[in-house]
């Protein structure tokens, strides 16, 4: 234990210096391993690229005549990928290296000042070369760009060292070190104040890389034999050693077999899954052993060092330089020099270790055979001097190095690393022209240069020169392949829509890195772009299995499933993946929306916050999935989130999702207001299309047609077809026919075929219709036979033998009479449906609901409540509330009725009967005549041609003294009604119309 604590006998100042230097040296070791496992992520970070894609899904379907209308529900899917980012300066590693380098140099300078004359001059000569390598003229100290600054600093340092060496020889090492460190601080202050360049210390660090590389290699060679030397300790330091020689040679053989396998695998001679020791691990172990082995090497430097502590200080300084420069190269992705250090470490251990075995054999083999404690005299040779070992080991290491590659190649790699560092320096300062020049110079010295090629690719991408960027990244992939280079090259091709090239590039990348989850994920994304569903899912599953990309791969797997309308149930797929991540749940909801499957997930709405992409997509898809199940409190909070300026990106999609929820809950008025705000605010055709669908479902086809017209102008699919259908529903066949003709003349599509067929049917004469099939006859009855033509209607109705089609035709005509306020005719037609053996559930439900409306219109309150019990109101929440309000009023529960009518008056403006019922109820209160008036007025704004609303409005406006408005409404009503119906209306309300006499005269 005493041998390990060799510093305890040193003077107290030396112990303090030892602990300070040891702390710095071992921090540099820790930093190397920290950066090693980060894989240059500091400066070339992986960035997550998120891509949103809207997919069309259907909330539900309703029928208009014989045509199915889909209510759209636009979900968002989130695809994620990793791409390589630009160079991101992290100057900490440069500054830490500079601290270690300057501390090491000043420590060596201090030691040199204690040497004898010849050794002193040799040491100072090397120091002068070291200072010159800093190129201090680049700092432009006080505007100087020549060598004056360098010469001045050399004079100061050399003069101080010579003063201590020649005139103050008795000065302690601690005082000398403090003096040189004080000079260093003075110089640092001078650089900070006098330099004319930005970040002068960063320039010093970059310029000091040359000295750092040389001193780092010196340290590697210095400790390269330590592992083999430790075998002597292991086999001879035990209490009762036996077979010491055998054990030593066996351990050495195992060690060299490992080194030799590392060499063969590294050079490509072997390709086997065999773990071999890492070069940096070799360096770390030998460095630690070297520090603790200096106490036994005292005989080697006793003649020229005043204290053994100085040798330890020199070793610690070199160790800090070596590990900090390695950490710098690893952290900045400067692989050209990292590879050099790896090679030199491996070959140095091979050469020095092999010759050290010769050294031990030559000097101590008899003692090993005798099991004597050789460790005590390991550095006291009597046959082969330690200098001879060093010289021979250097030759052996150089031989191994030269056999693997020429020494010139390693010099070129050093140059390439040096210029890469300069390129990084100027990139960080925003001088891309200078950075480009240095990177190109680096490539000249080493074409297998990932750092330079990748940086140039990023630089050209930033300069919007994709051709050059592709060339540089392709060079990187060919000469020094990396996952990041392959992915960014594929991204460049994908940005131009060349997804096939992206896929081929990813294929090559996977050949190089078959276990790369990032490349597997990127290949899956390329297959998504190519529309290859099965291949995309396979690669996402492979990426997921790799573990590293599990969350992202699951996100993309679910997104692709939604995009391609995967049939596997979304809830089962999410359960199978066992993912609780926001992105996975978002895409699972999108898939569930495509499948029209409510998905039960735990969800907590973010309150008063800025939404991330994942949070926003999750919220939007959740709203679309739970349309009628979300309470109004949550919807109000979602609106607040949408209107936050920080959520502007998702504002419109989120608001439309909220509007869809309000619509499904029956709050169609608010839904329409939000929808119109978004539609006109964005001019997005899909929002106008959705508004048109809503209005068509609410039996307001004339207004719906206008929204579909805007959507069609913006090339929304089905919009033109729905526009034509809306005009037909509005009895405007003259407006529908040109649209059907336009559609029929379009390329062969489903809509074109339907339009052609419908147009053909509508152009038939009454004598030609009976020859058609029953579906076509039913369509003709719905759109071509006028209400006044009962003869044709009955004649063609008799041709319908299918009960469902017969019932549908009678129901459609009955509804038209109802709309015209001809209740008696409506009732008569509906009664003709009785007794028909219906099989279509939807038609049966429509008949039930319409029958309820007629019952309410006829004020048959006794029949209304029991009739309601047999009707399902799913998807018709307002109808249920309306009928409940009527029943409550009939039963005398006026408070409940008032509450429900008040809600309905605010919830919807599209349903005429609801508006009339609410207005009629509030007419009870003679003190507030404006409320029923406003209800009717809002209804007319929604449906300007509503005969029933106009009839009531004429009277209410007259009562309130709005004579002009009343007269205008009356004139409009006169145009909509037949003369007989209009005269009847006037005669039934003589107290309201001064024109009644004039009309009666006509």
Q: Is the pLDDT of residue 42 over 90?
A: no
CA atoms within 13 A on the CB side of 733: 14
pLDDT attached to residue 1: 37
Q: Is 135 helix (H, G, I), strand (E, B) or coil?
A: coil
Q: Is the pLDDT of residue 236 over 70?
A: yes
Report percent pLDDT > 70 for the chain. Answer: 97
pLDDT attached to residue 562: 93
What end-to-end distance do the CA atoms of the chain give, in Å?
Answer: 128
pLDDT attached to residue 109: 92
Chain-centroid distance of CA 200 in Å reads 38
DSSP 609: S
**Directed axis angle between helix 407-428 and helix 450-462, to 10°?**
30
DSSP characters over 198-267: SSHHHHHHHHTHHHHHHHHHHHHHHHTTHHHHHHHHHHHSSSS--SHHHHHHHHHHHHHHHHHHHHHHHT
In terms of Cβ atoms closer than 10 Å to its own Cβ (0-12, 13-18, 19+), residue 403 is exposed
Q: Is the pLDDT of residue 1002 over 70?
A: no
Using pLDDT thresholds of 50, 70 and 90, give the confidence band for residue 295.
low
> What is the chain's percent helix, strand, coil content, to nearest 5?
70, 5, 25
Using pLDDT thresholds of 50, 70 and 90, give the confidence band for residue 998.
very low
In terms of Cβ atoms closer than 10 Å to its own Cβ (0-12, 13-18, 19+), residue 184 is middle
- CA–CA gap between residue 60 and residue 72 (Å, rounded): 8
pLDDT in tens, 572-609: 888 888 888 889 999 999 999 999 999 888 888 887 78
Residue 581 phi, psi dihedral angles, 5° rounding: -80, 150
Nearest CA to 1000 out of 954, 991, 990, 992 is that of 990
**Directed axis angle between helix 450-462 and helix 335-369, to 10°?**
160
Q: Are 178 and 171 in contact (CB under 8 A)?
A: no
Q: Is the pLDDT of residue 694 over 60?
A: yes
Please tell me the least confidently modeled range out of 145-154, 183-192, 263-272.
Answer: 263-272
- The rounded mean pLDDT for the chain is 89
Q: Are 72 and 59 in contact (CB under 8 A)?
A: yes
pLDDT attached to residue 407: 79
pLDDT attached to residue 994: 58
Q: Is 766 helix (H, G, I), strand (E, B) or coil?
A: coil
What is the largest distance, in Å, between two alpha-carbon atoms of the chain? 145
What number is the average pLDDT over the span 10-28? 90
What number is the average pLDDT over the span 187-209? 91
Cβ atoms < 10 Å from Cβ of 991: 8
pLDDT in tens, 90-123: 889 999 999 999 999 999 999 999 888 888 899 8
- CA–CA gap between residue 237 and residue 14 (Å, rounded): 28
Nearest CA to 952 out of 981, 907, 926, 985 is that of 985
Nearest CA to 590 out of 609, 616, 618 is that of 618
DSSP characters over 38-68: HTTTTTS-EEEEEEEEEEEEEEEEEEETTEE
pLDDT attached to residue 605: 86
- CA–CA gap between residue 298 and residue 126 (Å, rounded): 24
pLDDT in tens, 529-570: 999 999 999 999 999 988 778 899 999 999 999 999 988 888
- Which H or E run includes 599? none
Tell me how long the chain is: 1002
pLDDT in tens, 955-981: 888 888 888 888 899 899 988 888 888
Q: Give me the sign of the Cα torsion angle 28, 31, 37, 42.
A: negative
What number is the average pLDDT over the span 193-210? 91
Measured torsion, CA atoms of residues 928, 933, 934, 938, in degrees rounded to the nearest 10: 160
- Which H or E run includes 121? helix 117-132
pLDDT attached to residue 960: 87
Q: Is the pLDDT of residue 358 over 70?
A: yes
Q: Are 440 and 455 in contact (CB under 8 A)?
A: no
What number is the average pLDDT over the span 993-997? 51
pLDDT in tens, 384-425: 888 888 899 999 988 888 887 787 888 999 999 999 999 999
Q: Name beta bridge partners: 71.
A: 60
Q: Give me the sign of the Cα torsion angle 807, 812, 817, 821.
A: positive
Measured torsion, CA atoms of residues 241, 243, 244, 248, in degrees rounded to the nearest 10: -140
Q: Are 534 and 563 in contact (CB under 8 A)?
A: no
Residue 299 phi, psi dihedral angles, 5° rounding: -60, -25
Residue 882 phi, psi dihedral angles, 5° rounding: -65, -50
pLDDT attached to residue 368: 85
Strand pairing report for 46-64 and 67-84: antiparallel
pLDDT attached to residue 146: 86
What number is the average pLDDT over the span 721-740? 94
Cβ atoms < 10 Å from Cβ of 687: 29
In terms of Cβ atoms closer than 10 Å to its own Cβ (0-12, 13-18, 19+), residue 666 is buried
Q: Is the pLDDT of residue 242 over 60?
A: yes
Chain-centroid distance of CA 521 in Å reads 13
Q: Is 10 helix (H, G, I), strand (E, B) or coil?
A: coil
What number is the average pLDDT over the span 240-266? 86
pLDDT attached to residue 993: 65
Q: What contacts 427, CB < 8 A, 6 or more positions away?
A: 87, 89, 435, 455, 459
- CA–CA gap between residue 677 and residue 681 (Å, rounded): 6
- CA–CA gap between residue 849 and residue 858 (Å, rounded): 14
Q: What contacts 589, CB < 8 A, 6 or more positions away?
A: 75, 570, 599, 601, 618, 621, 622, 624, 625
Nearest CA to 412 out of 333, 339, 363 is that of 339
Cβ atoms < 10 Å from Cβ of 97: 27
What number is the average pLDDT over the span 668-672? 95
Nearest CA to 958 out of 927, 993, 986 is that of 993
Q: Is the pLDDT of residue 654 over 80?
A: yes
- CA–CA gap between residue 964 and residue 898 (Å, rounded): 31
pLDDT attached to residue 307: 78
pLDDT attached to residue 85: 86
pLDDT in tens, 60-85: 899 998 899 999 988 999 999 999 88
CA atoms within 13 A on the CB side of 898: 9
In terms of Cβ atoms closer than 10 Å to its own Cβ (0-12, 13-18, 19+), residue 185 is exposed
Using pLDDT thresholds of 50, 70 and 90, give the confidence band for residue 4.
low
Residue 349 phi, psi dihedral angles, 5° rounding: -65, -35
Residue 812 phi, psi dihedral angles, 5° rounding: -60, -40
Q: Is 62 helix (H, G, I), strand (E, B) or coil?
A: strand
Q: Is 946 helix (H, G, I), strand (E, B) or coil?
A: coil
Distances (CA, A) of 831 to 785, 837, 850: 20, 14, 12
Chain-centroid distance of CA 994 in Å reads 71
Using pLDDT thresholds of 50, 70 and 90, give the confidence band for residue 875.
confident
pLDDT attached to residue 272: 67
pLDDT attached to residue 344: 92
Residue 72 phi, psi dihedral angles, 5° rounding: -70, 150
């Amino acid at each position: 234990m005493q041998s390990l604590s060799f510093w305890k006998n040193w003077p107290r100042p030396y112990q303090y210096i030892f602990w300070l230097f040891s702390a710095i040296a071992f921090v540099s070791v820790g930093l190397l391993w920290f950066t090693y496992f980060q894989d240059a992520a500091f400066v070339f970070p992986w960035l997550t690229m998120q891509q949103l894609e809207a997919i069309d899904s259907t909330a539900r379907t309703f029928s208009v005549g014989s045509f199915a209308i889909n209510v759209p529900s636009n979900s968002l899917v989130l695809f994620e990928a990793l791409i390589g980012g630009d160079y991101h300066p992290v100057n900490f590693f440069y500054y830490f290296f500079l601290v270690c380098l300057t501390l090491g140099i000043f420590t060596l300078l201090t030691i040199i000042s204690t040497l004898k004359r010849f050794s002193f001059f040799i040491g100072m000569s090397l120091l002068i070369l070291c200072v010159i390598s800093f190129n201090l003229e680049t700092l432009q100290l006080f505007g100087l760009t020549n060598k004056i600054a360098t010469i001045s600093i050399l004079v100061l340092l050399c003069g101080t060292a010579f003063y201590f060496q020649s005139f103050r020889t008795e000065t302690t090492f601690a005082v000398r070190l403090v003096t040189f460190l004080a000079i260093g601080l003075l110089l640092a202050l001078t650089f900070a104040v006098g330099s004319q360049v930005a970040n002068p210390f960063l320039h010093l660090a970059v310029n000091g890389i040359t000295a750092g590389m040389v001193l780092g290699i010196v340290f590697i060679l210095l400790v390269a034999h330590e592992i083999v030397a430790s075998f002597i300790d292991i086999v001879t330091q035990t209490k009762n050693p036996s077979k010491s020689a055998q054990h030593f040679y066996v351990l050495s053989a195992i060690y060299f077999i490992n080194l030799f396998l590392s060499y063969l695998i590294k050079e490509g001679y072997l390709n086997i899954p065999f773990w071999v020791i890492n070069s940096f691990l070799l360096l770390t172990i030998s460095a630690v052993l070297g520090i603790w082995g200096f106490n036994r090497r005292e005989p080697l430097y006793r003649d020229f060092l005043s204290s053994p502590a100085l040798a330890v200080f020199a070793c610690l300084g070199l160790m800090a330089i070596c590990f900090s420069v390695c950490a710098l190269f690893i952290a900045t992705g400067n692989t050209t020099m990292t590879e050099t250090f790896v090679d030199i470490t491996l070959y140095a251990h091979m050469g020095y270790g092999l010759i050290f075995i010769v050294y031990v054999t030559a000097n101590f083999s008899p003692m090993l055979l005798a099991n004597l404690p050789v460790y005590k005299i390991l550095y006291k040779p009597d046959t082969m001097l330690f200098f001879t070992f060093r010289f021979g080991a250097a030759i052996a290491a150089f031989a191994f190095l030269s056999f693997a590659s020429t020494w010139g190649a390693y010099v070129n790699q050093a140059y390439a690393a040096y210029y890469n560092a300069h390129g990084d320096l100027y990139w960080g300062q925003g001088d891309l022209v200078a950075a480009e020049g240095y990177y190109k110079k680096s490539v000249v010295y080493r074409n297998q240069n990932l750092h330079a090629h990748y940086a140039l690719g990023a630089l050209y991408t930033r300069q919007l020169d994709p051709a050059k960027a592709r060339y540089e990244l392709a060079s990187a992939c060919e000469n020094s392949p990396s996952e990041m280079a392959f992915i960014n090259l594929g991204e460049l091709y994908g940005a131009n829509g060349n997804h096939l090239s992206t896929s081929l590039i990813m294929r090559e990348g996977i050949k190089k890195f078959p276990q790369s989850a990032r490349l597997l994920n990127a290949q899956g994304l390329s297959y998504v772009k190519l529309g290859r569903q099965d291949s995309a899912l396979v690669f996402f599953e492979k990426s997921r299995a790799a573990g590293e990309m599990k969350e992202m791969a699951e996100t993309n797997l679910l997104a692709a499933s939604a995009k391609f309308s995967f049939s596997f149930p979304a809830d089962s797929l999410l359960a199978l993946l066992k993912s609780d991540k926001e992105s996975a749940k978002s895409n699972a909801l999108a898939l569930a929306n495509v499948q029209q499957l409510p998905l039960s997930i735990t969800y907590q709405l973010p309150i008063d916050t800025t939404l991330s992409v994942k949070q926003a997509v999750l919220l939007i898809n959740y709203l679309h999935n739970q349309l009628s199940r979300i309470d109004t409190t949550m919807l109000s909070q979602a609106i607040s989130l949408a209107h936050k300026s920080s959520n502007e990106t998702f504002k419109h999609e989120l608001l439309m999702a909220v509007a869809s929820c309000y619509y499904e809950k029956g709050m169609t008025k608010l839904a329409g207001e939000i929808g119109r705000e978004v539609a006109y605010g964005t001019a997005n055709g899909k929002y106008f299309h959705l508004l048109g669908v809503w209005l068509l479902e609410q039996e307001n086809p004339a207004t719906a047609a206008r929204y579909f017209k805007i959507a069609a102008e913006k090339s929304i699919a089905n919009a033109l077809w729905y526009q034509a259908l809306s005009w037909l529903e509005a009895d405007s066949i003259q407006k529908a026919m040109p649209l059907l003709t336009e559609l029929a003349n379009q390329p062969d599509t489903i809509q074109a075929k339907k339009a052609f067929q419908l147009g053909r049917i509508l152009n038939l004469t009454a004598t030609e219709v009976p020859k058609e099939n029953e579906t076509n006859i039913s369509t003709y009855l719905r759109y071509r036979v006028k209400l006044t033509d009962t003869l044709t209607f009955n004649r063609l109705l008799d041709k319908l033998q299918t009960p469902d089609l017969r019932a549908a035709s009678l129901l459609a005509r009955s509804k038209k009479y109802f709309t015209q306020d001809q209740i008696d005719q409506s009732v008569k037609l509906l009664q003709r449906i009785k007794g028909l053996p219906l099989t279509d559930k939807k038609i049966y439900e429509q008949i039930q609901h319409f029958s309820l409306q007629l019952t309410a219109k006829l004020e048959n309150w006794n029949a209304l409540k029991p009739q309601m019990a047999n009707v399902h109101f799913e998807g018709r929440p307002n109808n249920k509330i309306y009928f409940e309000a009527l029943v409550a009023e009939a039963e005398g529960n006026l408070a409940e009725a008032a509450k429900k009518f008040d809600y309905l008056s605010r919830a919807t403006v599209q349903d005429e009967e609801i508006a009339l019922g609410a207005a009629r109820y509030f007419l009870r209160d003679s003190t507030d005549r404006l409320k029923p008036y406003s209800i009717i007025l809002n209804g007319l704004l929604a449906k300007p041609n509503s005969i029933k609303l106009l009839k009531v409005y004429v009277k209410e406006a007259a009562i309130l003294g709005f004579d002009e408005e009343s007269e205008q409404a009356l004139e409009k009503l006169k145009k909509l009604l037949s003369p007989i119906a209009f005269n009847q209306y006037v005669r039934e309300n003589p107290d309201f119309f001064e024109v009644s006499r004039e009309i009666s005269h006509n």
